[in-house]
A and B are shown apart, each in its own frame.
Chain A
Amino acid sequence: MKKDKFDIGNLFLVTALCMLVLGLCFGILAATIYIFPEFLKQQLGFVSLRPLHVSSAIFWIILGSTGCVYNGLKEEITKPITYTIAFAQWVLWIIALVGILCCYLNKDFGGREYWEFNPVWALPIAGAWFLFLINVLGLLKKIKDWPVYLWMWLTGVLFFLFTFSENYLWVFPYFRNHFITDMTIQWKVNGSLVGSWNQILYGTAIFLMDKISNTKNAGRSKFAFAMYFLGLFNLLFNWSHHIYTLPTERYIRYIGYAVSMTEWVFFIKIVLDWKSTMSIVQQNYHYFPYRFLMATDIWVFMNMGQAILMSIPAINRYTHGTHVTVAHAMGTTIGINTMILLAACFEFFDKKDKSKYANGLFWLLQISLLIFWLSLNAAGIQKGIWQLSSHQGSYSKMMESLRPYFIGFACAGLGLLTALGSFAIILINTYFKKPTQREVEIS
């Protein structure tokens, strides 16, 4: 007999929720700088706030994904999870995230694009991930006849470790010296990292669908397996479409794009098929998990529409390097990843809440995200037109003209902070209120 004394899956989820709250706060401060350039300029500055926001948001997603895999595996198997390893993994993450956030506050940066920090902190993260891989492999060995989400989880975990290591090639001067190679690797890595946690989260969405409807339909459907293989292909080749203007192999990026779109079409279809099997009772019993999954489906649809447009080279010329890219990144992290994670938290914490207040928050979240996404897209298109105009005015004038969109985006950001922050706090409270349930014995 072994006790799940750390309630490891939920421990990761609650840590992730704390990072979500932090990420939202840093995000709103960073957005304020867009409107009031001198806000916190001397104290924190955008140089620190941007990585603080990005890293906290990514910690939310990665730690959340880890929690979902542990919770999911716990339900799939009878063998106990090796809690000592899992706890050591959690401790390594805490060391890394505290270290990284303190470094940013001390103006010690990784200084590259997207998820970057002093490479020292890559060591505890790689260590944590290695432990995760050991645990996951040990558990999966015991299972025969895998539903699709187990494949997705394993693939996500493996690829993350691989790509994460690739991300540090620049530490060697050889790679730094080749500027184009270095930029290409940088973006390939970012794409594959996103691809890895997407595998874990899409897997989680399918797992949740089966758990909620109490069937095995979604996890065994042909569409789900097709989606898995497309996702795998994407992990290998996707992202190259982000670097149209870098001199890299051109055909692969168009194939990569077509594949990523098909993957989304399949996801939409899987959710709709599942929805048609859900009874009203089930929908009500799993109130928020069901609603968040449906919201995910709509956001997949919206982001797919945007991505299809962005991928047309003639349009890409206008959107490249503009806030349309930010809209795409934030639209998918909030609209897809965050919605799946919230569905998972509500389900795993067994939180039953149908109050008007919570419903209000749900709608505040969706509407704020829509305004947020539209303002960024509009700002991006306007910048794109400036980028291509033959008589370009000054950069600062152009930025000044985007101010109304930035105000819309910052206000919507406040809405997101309120809605997501409140959901996070509701969930964190639920976690701490139920210590007895965490002592659940597993045989």
Chain B
Amino acid sequence: MASEGRLVWQSYNCQACHQLYSLGGYLGPDLTNVISTPNKGANLVRAMIKSGTKQMPAFSLSDHEMSLLIEFLKSTDASGIADIRHFRLNKYGLIEANEKR
């Protein structure tokens, strides 16, 4: 499911404006953890895709595509945390992730 969902993400080129793990376009926000962010989550994703915004175009995804895409974003969310504030410098001055979410 998630790997099919990645193909949906790719075919609509969400990456042109959005990042995953801070890698990608620079117009929209990073979406790595949008699913687990309080007040956001799958419903926000659905709403944003359907309605678009001033800057983001609306996309007409089929229900099937939409659920695949949500699966992809869920599995991306589960793979780690992208918020830079989650990373700290260790005693050697290198970047490390905090243990806890």
Contacts and interface: CB of A to CB of B under 8 A. Distances in A.
B86 to A, nearest CB: 9
Interface residues of B, number: 41
Contact of B16 (A34, A46, A242, A250): A46
Contacts of A107: 13
B25 interface: yes
Contacts of A38: 54-55
| Interface class of chain B by DSSP | mixed
A317 B12 CA distance: 29
Given A50-B16, A313-B89, A321-B84, A177 B2 contact: yes
A245 interface: yes
Interface residues of A, number: 51
A395 interface: yes
Contacts of B79: 179-180
Interface string B1-34: 0110011011111111101111111111110000
Contacts of B97: 245, 247
A85 to B, nearest CB: 34
Contact of B3 (A33, A173, A314, A316): A173
Interface of A: 33-34, 37-38, 41-42, 45-47, 50-51, 107-113, 170, 173, 176-177, 179-180, 182-183, 186-187, 242-247, 250, 254, 312-314, 316-317, 320-323, 326, 387-388, 390, 395, 399
22 contacts: A34-B27, A46-B17, A46-B27, A47-B13, A47-B57, A50-B16, A50-B17, A107-B13, A111-B9, A111-B12, A111-B13, A111-B15, A113-B23, A170-B6, A173-B3, A179-B75, A179-B79, A245-B87, A245-B95, A246-B21, A314-B89, A321-B23
